[in-house]
Structure 1
C-alpha cells in the first residue's frame, strides 16, 4: 500500500473512533433531566462556558507543544482528556464535577489541531492533500454519524435516552481512541525543535507554493528564491547549533509572517476562523435550542430525534466532504463564488432557526447547515495546506483554530453570559446567521473584484 494511503487509513480510523461519543446529541437533555436538574439557561451560561474558556486558554499552548512532542503524544493525551471528561459526568454528577469535566473537554477539543497537522506532516506529496483532507473529514463525520445513530436507536428502544449507558459508551470510545493513537506511526522529526545538525533543501526560504508573477511582484516575500547568504555545502555545525538555541521563536515568527503573506491563504484563513467560530457555537447550542423550543411550546410528549438529526447532518456532511475532495476544479478561480454561495446558504438556514418553533424544521435547518459547512471546510483546509511549507501546518492550523476559539469565547462572554447584551437562546442563532452572511458578502465582493484585476498568481497544481 502506498504510504499516503496507509497514513490516511490510520488517521481515518482515529478520526472515526474519536467521534464515537453517543451522549453528545443528548448532552443538553441530560443536563436538564432529573438526573442533574439544571435549567436550560444554566447549561450554556454555567457549564458550556467553562469548556469554551478552557479551549481559549489551552489552544495556543497545545498547537506550539504539538510540534515539540512530534504530534503523536498529543493525540494520545487527546483520548485521555476525552475519557476524563465523560467520567466526570457519570452517575448523577454535581455541577462542580460537570464543570471540571468541561475543562477537560476544552483540552479534548484543542488537541484536535494535532490530527490534521499529523496527517500533513506524515505525507509530503501535496497533490494528495485534497484527497486526504476529504478522507479524514469524511471519517470524522462518519464517526459522528455512527455515534448519533447508536444514540438515537437506544433512545427509541428505551422510550427515552438512556443517559448513563450513553455516557459509558462515550468513555469506551475515548479509551479506544487513546489506544489507537498509541499504534499510529510516529513523526520522525519535529519541524521546529530537535533539528538534525545539517542543512538540506528545506533551507530554501519560502513558505508557500503559490507562484507570483515576478514582473508584478518584484519585492514579494513569497518568491521562491534561495537565501543568498546560505552556502549549503559550507555550513558549520556550531552555527546550526547556535541557531537551534536562539532561533526557534524567530523561525516561528518568520514562518507565521510568510505563510500569511500569501493573500489567498489569508482569505481562506479569514473564512476558516470566522466560520469555525460560528460552528463551535452552533454545534454546542443546537441541542440547547431543541430543549428551549420544547419548553417554550410546553410540549412534554415530543420524542427527541436529536440523534437522528445529528446522524443525517454528519452523513450528508461526510458524503459532501468526500465528494468535493474528488472534484478537480481550479479553486483559486471558482472558490470565491463557492464560499459565497455556501456561506449564504448556511447563514439563511441559521436565521430560519431564530423564528421557527417547529422542531422538525429546526432539525432540517441544522442538517443543511452541517452539510454546507463541512463541504466548505474541506476545501479551505486542503487549499491552505497546498500553499504552506510542510513545517507550518500545525502553526497555521492551530492559529486559525485559536482565532475561532477567540470568536467563540467573545460570544460566550458577551452574549451567552450576557455581559454585552442579553438575548434568548433562539436569538443567539441570529448572531450566527449574520456571521455567515457577512462571510458571503465578503467573498461575493472578492469574486467581483477578481474579475477586474490580475493578481499575478498561478494556481498550484
Structure 2
C-alpha cells in the first residue's frame, strides 16, 4: 500500500515533463517575428494594406468566436483532446503558410491560428487536473518558464539565421513546422486526466457520465439502418439527459461564481484594467511588425524583429520575477501603479507614432511590453490570491473574453477595411490615446482612494482630540464643581 501511494505521488513528474516538452516545441517558432516581412516579400507578394486591413483582423474574429465554446469543451473532454486539436491546428497553419498563396489563403491561416490561440487554455489547465494542489505553484513555474525560454530562444535563433546565415523566411517557417509537429507528437504521450475543474470534479457525483459517452449520445448512430429506424435506446436517452443536465448545472454554477467574483470591488477594478490593457496590448503586438516594416521596409533594410522580440521576452520575464520582491501595499497604491505604468505605455505608443527612427520604435516597444508584463503579473497575483483555483481559471477566462470583445471592437473600427481602415501610423496614435484614457481612469481612481483613506484618519484624529478635551473639562468640573465656561465668565 505504501509503495502504491508513493507511486501515485510521483505520477506528477511524467505529465509535467511531457507538458514542458510540448510547451517548448510549440513556442519554438523562429519564423513568428518575421511574419509581416514574409507576407509582404516575394514569397507571398501581398501589400501592407492587405496584410493590415484584410488578413490580420481574421485572427481576432476567429479567436473571439472560438474562445467561449473551446473553454467549455476543453473542460468537458478533459484537456488532452483539445491539446491534440491545437497541435493539428498548428500544423495546418504552417502548411498553409508555406504552400498556399493569396489573401483568402492567408485569411485561412489566421483562422487556424486563432484556433491555436483559443485552445491555449488547455495547456495551462491540463496540469492542474493531474497534480495535487500543493504542487500547483511548482508546475506552473516550470511550464511558464519553459514557454518563456522557448520564445526567447526562437526569436534569437530566427534573428541569427536571418542575419548571419542568410536563411530565407520560407526556411524559417519550415523549421517552425517541424517544431510544432514535434509538439503534436509529444501531446500523444500525455496521460488522460480523470477529472477536470468544472464538469468532472474530484468531489462530483459518481453518476456523472464519461465525456466520450456524453458526446456519443448527442450524435446519431451510424452503425446500421436498423438502429437509425428504432431510435436511441433508453440507456442512451438517460445518458443524453444526464449530459444535458450536467452542462446546465455547470453553466448555472459558472454564472453564480462569476457574480460572486465580481461582487468584490477590488477584484472588479483589477479585472477592468486586465481586460482594457490586454485588449490594447494584443492589438499592439498584432500590428507592431507592420509598423516596423513601414518605418524600415524589409526589402531594402536590415530586419531585427527577432532580436527585439528576444530582448522583450527576456525583459518581461525579469519584470515578472521582480514582482515578488516588491513590498508595497497594493490595496492602497495598486491602482496608482496601474495608472502610472499605463501612462508610460501610452507615452511609448505616442513615440512610436511620432518618430521616424526605427531604433526608437524598437526601444519604445521594449518599454511598452516590459511595463505591461509587470502590471499583468501584479494583477494576476492580486486576483489569484483571493480565489480558489476553479474561480481563478473562470475569472482568467472571462477577463480575457472581455478583452477580446474590446479588441474586436478596436479592430472593426480602427483596422478593418470595412471600418475606418486607418493606416498603421495613425493606428498607433489611437492605441496611445487608448492607453492614455486607461491611465487617466486609474490615476483619478487612485487619487480618490488616497484622499478617502486620509479623510477617515483626519476625522479619527479630530474626534480623539475632542474626546481628550471633553475628558479634561470633566476632570476640571469634578475638582471645582463648576464647568469651565462658567469659571471663565465669572
Give structure 2 stretches of 5+ with no counterpart.
1-8, 207-241, 454-490
**In structure 2, do the counterparts of structure 1 residues 329 and 281 end up closer, same or farther at CA, with 3 Å as the change threshold?**
same
**In structure 2, do the counterparts of structure 1 residues 10 and 418 end up closer, same or farther at CA, with 3 Å as the change threshold?**
same
Per the alignment, residue 414 of structure 1 pairs with 413
**In structure 2, do the counterparts of structure 1 residues 331 and 117 end up closer, same or farther at CA, with 3 Å as the change threshold?**
farther
**Bigger mean CA deviation after superposition, 274-283 or 22-31:** 274-283
Per the alignment, residue 366 of structure 1 pairs with 365
Whether the aligned pair in 1 keeps the contact of 2:199 and 2:247 (CA below 8 Å) is no
Count residues in correspondence: 411
Per the alignment, residue 164 of structure 1 pairs with 170
Shift of 1:261: 1.5
**In structure 2, do the counterparts of structure 1 residues 265 and 254 end up closer, same or farther at CA, with 3 Å as the change threshold?**
same
Distance 1:77 1:304 in 2: 33
Distance 1:326 1:78 in 2: 36
Distance 1:169 1:266 in 2: 43
Q: Within 5 Å, give how 1:173-188 maps onto structure 2.
A: 173-184=179-190, 186-188=192-194
Shift of 1:146: 0.7
Per the alignment, residue 227 of structure 1 pairs with none
Per the alignment, residue 65 of structure 1 pairs with 73
Q: Secondary structure in 2 aligned to 1:266? A: helix
Per the alignment, residue 233 of structure 1 pairs with none
Q: Secondary structure in 1 aligned to 2:164? A: helix
Per the alignment, residue 256 of structure 1 pairs with 258
**In structure 2, do the counterparts of structure 1 residues 266 and 351 end up closer, same or farther at CA, with 3 Å as the change threshold?**
same
Whether the aligned pair in 2 keeps the contact of 1:413 and 1:419 (CA below 8 Å) is yes
Whether the aligned pair in 1 keeps the contact of 2:50 and 2:103 (CA below 8 Å) is no
Pairwise CA RMSD: 3.1
Whether the aligned pair in 1 keeps the contact of 2:89 and 2:112 (CA below 8 Å) is yes
Distance 1:8 1:98 in 2: 35
Per the alignment, residue 375 of structure 1 pairs with 374
Shift of 1:195: 4.7
Distance 2:196 2:445 in 1: 37
Which residue, 138, 147, 155 being the options, matches 1:148? 155
**Cα shift readout 1:67-95 (whole Å, capped 9, x = no counterpart):** 11223332332222111111111136333
Distance 1:358 1:382 in 2: 37
Which residue, 61, 80, 83 being the options, matches 2:88? 80
**In structure 2, do the counterparts of structure 1 residues 272 and 442 end up closer, same or farther at CA, with 3 Å as the change threshold?**
same
Q: Within 5 Å, give how 1:176-325 maps onto structure 2.
A: 176-184=182-190, 186-195=192-201, 244=246, 246-295=248-297, 301-325=300-324
**In structure 2, do the counterparts of structure 1 residues 370 and 284 end up closer, same or farther at CA, with 3 Å as the change threshold?**
same
Higher helix share: 2
TM-score with structure 1 length normalisation?
0.80
Which residue, 140, 146, 154 being the options, matches 1:139? 146
Shift of 1:179: 3.0
Distance 2:60 2:271 in 1: 21
Distance 2:29 2:360 in 1: 25
**Bigger mean CA deviation after superposition, 95-104 or 36-45:** 95-104
Shift of 1:48: 1.0
Shift of 1:446: 2.7
Q: Secondary structure in 1 aligned to 2:48? A: coil
**Cα shift readout 1:283-324 (whole Å, capped 9, x = no counterpart):** 1111111111235xxx95421111111111111112222232
Shift of 1:100: 1.5
**In structure 2, do the counterparts of structure 1 residues 260 and 178 end up closer, same or farther at CA, with 3 Å as the change threshold?**
farther
Distance 2:384 2:14 in 1: 19
Distance 2:255 2:150 in 1: 36
Distance 2:267 2:15 in 1: 25
